[in-house]
Amino acid sequence: MTETTTGTAQAAPGTHEYDPLWPSLLPPERQGADELCAVSADGVRVRFADGRELLCGTSGLWNTNIGYGNPVVAEAVARAVREGSYLSVFRYENTYAREASRVLTELAGADHFGRVLWSTSGGAANDLVMKLARMYHALRGEPRRKLVVGLRGSYHGLTYGSFALTGEDLGQGVYGVDQRLIRHVAPNDPEELTTLLARQGGQVAAVVVEPVLGSGAVPLTPEFTEALLRLREEHGFLLVADEVATGFGRTGSFFASQQWPGRPDLVVASKGLTNGTMAAAAVLVAHHVAEAVHRSGAVLTHGETQAGTPTTCAAVLATVEEMRRLDAVARGRRLAEQLDAHLARLTAEVPSVTGTTGLGCFRSVRLATADGEPLPQAEVPELIAAIRTAGAIVHPGPHGIQLIPALTYTEAELTELLDCVRAGIAAHTGRAEDIAHTTGADR
């Protein structure tokens, strides 16, 4: 130990028990492990510092929808770095952002969506959404509309605004997150939402929903989306589709909300937007919202240094181009049909598996203990580790795991993923009835 000038003892330099990198959401006891330190990635496989190469069953974080290392995206970004290393949309414009905005509105439907606001993450974009919704109503003479409604169990990010909106209990109280202007209702419960709006509808600026709740892969039911659209007409709030996870082909169309019977007022895109290559997000704004702000001459107070840069927008344009060339959305639909069959067999044959949820290439597998109770969340990291040992990366979910394969997976890769899941479940539970269905079960 050394002494400071104030006499306080401190650890000598270089004697700390931790590395300089402080990774996100990883318990201290798991930090610094080479088995969790990625070295490189290609296609749908990731190599780690311990020498292992694993099949990626998570598309990174739902974002590498067409696989790692796409050369067209890489070259587009490299060219943008050379030609326009940094050009801003902060009090300026740039041609890359203009073109990417045009392409995104066309993808979403230019008859309805007219403008794009650029951001750098899903969390920051949800902060932006809440600002824009409140500003929109204030410009229309309704400044009391400041409440934003989300769903319990939802995930919208961890910046202060989006953390408030997130419907999971992730310690918001510990961090002093202000949720006084946020309300949460149960997903797929039109009655609870109707009751809230009957009481406070005149104060609600927006209702923000994920078409598939990211934390549990729970799709919104047709009845609930129909109720959202009906209640929007009745109460006048803005309907926001947070498509950070579901956008860019994950659930069978470019945007999941394109399958709704009506369209949202705002759409948030991120993750798959650049195939995971850039810190990027975009908010697509319907014409009636954009026109209300434009006619007023008001300036929206939001800006991010790295939003809408040439490299970001070049990645967006190249990702769209590659998705079209690869017919990625249609391939994802076909893969989802194969995944349906695999998961049906898994549920029928592996006693620990109690069911699956989700839509398209966005699924959750739920497990139970030997006595029939839901798998404790404390055991989920051990299950994830067992599946890693078997050869695949999967994501934690409620009482089990989530599977988010790239849209470009082959049938053989999908079979390999499910074989690893089976083997990992058997290794984790040690139950003879689970072990009996591991070897080559999905081949």
Q: What is the DSSP letter of 269?
A: E
Dump pLDDT digits (tens) for 310-338: 999 999 999 999 999 999 999 999 999 99
Between strands 392-393 and 53-56, the pairing is parallel
Q: Could you tell me if 180 and 292 lie in one domain?
A: yes
Mean pLDDT of the chain: 94
Q: What is the CATH number of the domain that holds 426?
A: 3.90.1150.10
Report the C-alpha gap between 238 and 267 in whole angstroms.
11
- State yes or no: pLDDT of 441 exceeds 70: no
Residue pair 136/354 in contact by the 8 Å Cβ criterion = no
On whether residue 247 sits in a domain, the answer given is: yes
Closest to 238 (Cα-Cα) out of 300, 292, 175: 292
Kindly report the backbone phi and psi dihedral angles of residue 347, in degrees, each rounded to the nearest multiple of 5, phi listed first: -65, -40
- State yes or no: pLDDT of 10 exceeds 70: no
* Exposure of 57 in the CB half-sphere (CA atoms within 13 A): 27
DSSP per residue, 338-372: HHHHHHHHHHHH-TTEEEEEEETTEEEEEEB-TTS
Q: Could you tell me if 75 and 213 lie in one domain?
A: yes
- State yes or no: pLDDT of 49 exceeds 50: yes
Q: What is the DSSP letter of 43?
A: B
Rounded mean pLDDT, 305-310: 98
3-state SS track over 107-151: HHCCCCEEEEEEECCHHHHHHHHHHHHHHHHHHCCCCCCCEEEEE
Rounded mean pLDDT, 39-58: 98
Q: Could you tell me if 130 and 266 lie in one domain?
A: yes
CB atoms within 10 A of CB 100: 27
Q: What is the per-residue pLDDT for 435?
A: 82
Q: What is the per-residue pLDDT for 438?
A: 74
Dump pLDDT digits (tens) for 104-151: 999 999 999 999 999 999 999 999 999 999 999 999 999 999 999 999
Q: Which residue has the tokens 């990027």?
A: 280
Rounded mean pLDDT, 190-194: 98
Dump pLDDT digits (tens) for 376-422: 999 999 999 999 999 999 999 999 999 999 999 999 999 999 999 99
Closest to 282 (Cα-Cα) out of 145, 103, 73, 71: 103
Which residues are paired to 127 by β-bridges?
none
Domain-terminating residue out of 310, 326, 342? 326
Amino acid making up residue 7: G
Residue pair 64/276 in contact by the 8 Å Cβ criterion = yes
Q: What is the CATH number of the domain that holds 126?
A: 3.40.640.10
Residue pair 363/343 in contact by the 8 Å Cβ criterion = yes
On whether residue 443 sits in a domain, the answer given is: no
Rounded mean pLDDT, 439-443: 51
Q: What is the per-residue pLDDT for 1?
A: 36
Q: Which residue has the tokens 């974002």?
A: 63
Q: What is the per-residue pLDDT for 257?
A: 98
- State yes or no: pLDDT of 163 exceeds 70: yes
What totals of helices (H) and strands (E) does the chain contain, helices first?
13, 19
On whether residue 19 sits in a domain, the answer given is: no
Indicate the Cα dihedral angle 175, 176, 177, 183, nearest 10°. Answer: 120
Q: Could you tell me if 318 and 336 lie in one domain?
A: no
On whether residue 20 sits in a domain, the answer given is: no
- State yes or no: pLDDT of 7 exceeds 60: no
Q: Which residue has the tokens 């050869």?
A: 391
Report the C-alpha gap between 413 and 36 in whole angstroms.
22
Q: Could you tell me if 304 and 337 lie in one domain?
A: no
Q: Could you tell me if 334 and 344 lie in one domain?
A: yes
Report the C-alpha gap between 215 and 231 in whole angstroms.
25
CA distances from 413 to 151, 253, 356 (A): 34, 22, 20
CA 125-62-18 angle, to 5 degrees, is: 85
**Strand, coil or helix: what is 83?**
helix
Q: Could you tell me if 303 and 339 lie in one domain?
A: no
Kindly report the backbone phi and psi dihedral angles of residue 410, in degrees, each rounded to the nearest multiple of 5, phi listed first: -85, 165
On whether residue 2 sits in a domain, the answer given is: no
pLDDT band at 433 (very low <50, low <70, confident <90, very high): confident
Between strands 238-243 and 204-209, the pairing is parallel
Residue pair 187/224 in contact by the 8 Å Cβ criterion = yes
Q: Could you tell me if 38 and 138 lie in one domain?
A: no
Report the phi/psi class of residue 30: left, alpha or beta, with left for phi > 0 and alpha for psi in -120 to 50.
alpha
Q: Could you tell me if 234 and 333 lie in one domain?
A: no
Residue pair 91/425 in contact by the 8 Å Cβ criterion = no
Report the C-alpha gap between 289 and 186 in whole angstroms.
27
Domain-terminating residue out of 273, 303, 326? 326
Rounded mean pLDDT, 224-234: 98
pLDDT band at 8 (very low <50, low <70, confident <90, very high): very low
Amino acid making up residue 170: L
On whether residue 61 sits in a domain, the answer given is: no
Q: Could you tell me if 75 and 221 lie in one domain?
A: yes
Q: Could you tell me if 131 and 233 lie in one domain?
A: yes
Domain-terminating residue out of 292, 326, 360? 326
On whether residue 113 sits in a domain, the answer given is: yes
On whether residue 347 sits in a domain, the answer given is: yes
Q: Could you tell me if 131 and 227 lie in one domain?
A: yes
Give the number of domains in the chain.
Answer: 2
pLDDT band at 13 (very low <50, low <70, confident <90, very high): low
Rounded mean pLDDT, 214-220: 91
Q: What is the per-residue pLDDT for 276?
A: 97
Residue 46 lies in domain: 26-56+328-435
What pTM was computed for the model?
0.94
Rounded mean pLDDT, 44-51: 98
Dump pLDDT digits (tens) for 69-85: 999 999 999 999 999 99
